Amino acid sequence: MVLTGAEIVVRCLQEEKVEYLFGYPGGAVLFIYDELFKQEQVRHVLVRHEQAAVHAADGYARSTDKVGVALVTSGPGATNAVTGIATAYMDSIPMVIISGQVPTAAIGLDAFQEVDTVGITRPCVKHNILVKDIRDIAPAIKKAFYIAKTGRPGPVLVDIPKDITAQRAEYSYPQEVSLRSYNPVVKGHSGQIRKAAQLLLEAKRPMIYTGGGVILSDAAKQVTKLARQLGFPVTNTLMGLGGYPASDKQFVGMLGMHGTYEANMAMHYCDVLLAVGARFDDRVIGDPKHFQAEPRKIIHIDIDPSSISKRVKVDVPIVGDVKEVLEELARLIEAGEKPNPENTSAWWRQIDEWRSKQCMVYKNSDEVIKPQFVVQKLWEVTSGDAFVCSDVGQHQMWAAQYYHFDEPRRWINSGGLGTMGFGLPAAMGVQLAHPDKPVAVITGEGSIQMCIQELSTCKQFRLPIKVLSLNNRYLGMVRQWQQFFHGNRYSESYMDSLPDFAKLAEAYGHIGIQVTKPSDVEPVLREVYTKHKNDLVFLDFQVDPTENVYPMVQGGKGLTEMILGSEDL
């Protein structure tokens, strides 16, 4: 079968069973767009900015365990996509980005809309490929999907010059991929797993610490089974929320910079730590020297060997897919010596004492809307069943703290890169993947303006997303740090000249509601989720501008050096 390069690209996407392709056309990809027009199998979603295309593909991937796919043109199309690519790279999200490139003969000549896309994206992709021959298109795309999804997932970019999409060649799609230099380990070392089992059974102050790897490998059931088998406390990172049910009594909350007192104290003072699909990053353990000052044995399970002992030296490294390793670990414990609850009874009493501080209790108000209250009411109204996408800032932390996730893949946020503007486009990908599920965006008046043009995309594709803006008229997290550490000098963090967001949403063809009274929060949310289930509703909550996120571990401090409230400043 002889096809053009553009036809080959589209056939490859069909072979990979791509449902949605998020993109924006331009000169270098017009032959591909022409072929997309002639078929119906791959549905194209026209975004209003290339950054949003990649974020939407990202949200789709995070909520489905499928590969997200984006298509952008050369030059500014590719550079606009870089923020979304870096976001996916930091959070290990499987994605394939196809970018157009100037014709082969023009590469390197500063042609119109030419950038070195492969060079620019090299630091923030798992792999990238410049296609130089039409016969390499199909193998390159097959390789891209394989690399994106296997091992530690990540974004893969395929850069295709325009002239190659117009040429013709024989087409056949590879059935499998074999890469000599890329063979991810899936099964963990059985001897190391036995060592881990023995350490866990001997523990007096154990802790299970899980991260985004549990979500990415669909290992939530395995984590839950093992934790209940052992009777140990469990904490999740920001990226790992939903990997263990938040409503379970063994869950001690999120840990880290804005984690619970009990989670951070238990993490610091445990004697055996089981780290699963997590990387001990700076927002989780604070200062590594402070963390390592307390003696403990660490078992670390991760698909990526470079993540093990990267920041914290571990005692039992286990490289492998966390789902496979946890299943073998559970089998070993089930077949051998049973865990003795007496070993950990004193530890649980200590944890209950830490819990008694009730670090998440805040002072509510009848006069001004507290942002935590909005998130709590959203959780109640949606019965904890919504997909919650967030932008980045204080509202992101309140969402993580007060919306209790019992299932994986319900919490969609930019963790590693911390990308403002992520929430709304990511929600578009989530809503398309789950058309019958409630999807909410928790955002702030700063973040939402980064990609607010996607309200137009939402209108075109009739996406009934609910946008909750916790509008405090500040870049809230910046203001909080300026208050704590910069002498209340609010340099450029106050958001002046804000639009009327309710009217702006209406201008895009949606429903806009401004909420100013605490007594209106719950009734408005209930109305939105009953009468307006099929509409996009923008809820502009005018919240307390002075509210801060607590608890907090200051950058460079240790987990036990927490700011629990204003009295600790």
Q: State how far the Cα of 13 lies from the Cα of 10, in Å rounded to an integer.
A: 5
Who's near 174: CB < 8 A, 6+ residues apart? 138, 139, 142
Count Cβ atoms below 10 Å from residue 393 Cβ, excluding itself.
25
DSSP-derived secondary structure for 5-31: HHHHHHHHHHHTT--EEEE---GGGHH
7, 16, 35, 50: the catalytic one is 50
Q: State how far the Cα of 296 lies from the Cα of 294, in Å rounded to an integer.
A: 6
112, 170, 337, 380: the catalytic one is 112
126, 162, 297, 466: the catalytic one is 162
Quick check: bond before 551 cis, omega within 30? yes
Tokens of 1: 């079968």
Angle between helical axes of 322-335 and 190-202 (0-180°, round to 10): 60
Q: State how far the Cα of 541 lies from the Cα of 249, in Å rounded to an integer.
A: 32
Continuous H helices in 65-189: 76-90, 117-121, 137-149, 162-166
Reduce the DSSP state of residue 331 to 3 states and report it: helix
Q: State how far the Cα of 231 lies from the Cα of 201, in Å rounded to an integer.
A: 11
Residue with tokens 């804000």: 498
477-503 exposure pattern, b = at least 16 Cβ within 10 A, e = fewer: bbbbbbbeeeeeeeeebebeeeeebbe
477 is catalytic: yes
**SS3 annotation, 484-530:** HHCCCCCCCCECCCCCCHHHHHHHCCCEEEEECCHHHHHHHHHHHCC
Q: Are 57 and 98 in contact (CB under 8 A)?
A: no
Bridge partners, residue 299, by sequence: 274, 316
50 is catalytic: yes
Q: State how far the Cα of 495 lies from the Cα of 157, in Å rounded to an integer.
A: 36
Who's near 237: CB < 8 A, 6+ residues apart? 209, 210, 211, 212, 254, 255, 256, 278, 281, 284, 415
Adjacency order of strands within the sheet including 272-276: 251-254, 234-236, 206-210, 272-276, 297-302, 316-319
387 is catalytic: no
39, 113, 453, 554: the catalytic one is 113
412-437 exposure pattern, b = at least 16 Cβ within 10 A, e = fewer: bbbbbbbbbbbbbbbbbbbbbbbeee
Nearest one of 386, 382, 389, 384 to 59, comparing CA atoms: 389
223, amino acid identity:
V
207, 254, 265, 477: the catalytic one is 477
Active site residues: 50, 112-113, 162, 477
